[in-house]
Amino acid sequence: MNMSFDSQVAIITGSGTGIGYATAELLALSGAAVVVNGRRKQVCDEAAQRIVAQGGRAIAVAADASSAEGAQMMVDAARDAFGGVDILVNNAAIFSPADFVTAPYAEWRRVLDVNLDSAIHCCRAVAGALIAAGRGGRIVNVSSIHSYRAERNASHYDLAKGAMDQLTRALALELAPHNILVNSVAPGFVDTPMAVVDGKNELESEWFITNYVQQRRIPLARAAQPGEIAQAIAWLASPLNTYVNGHVLIADGGLSVTF
Say whether 157 is catalytic. yes
Between CA 146 and CA 1 the distance in angstroms is: 32
Residue among 139, 32, 154 at smallest CA distance from 89: 139
The active-site residue, picked from 21, 105, 148, 157, is 157
Q: What is the DSSP letter of 247?
A: -
Determine the Cα angle at 124 with ends 119 and 130, to 5°: 115
The bridge status of strand 200-201 relative to strand 196-197 is: antiparallel
Residue 76: CB atoms within 10 Å: 14
Between CA 255 and CA 70 the distance in angstroms is: 35
Q: Are 23 and 89 in contact (CB under 8 A)?
A: yes
Strands (E) across the chain are located at 9-12, 33-38, 57-62, 87-90, 137-142, 180-187, 196-197, 200-201, 248-251
Residue positions annotated with a catalytic role: 157
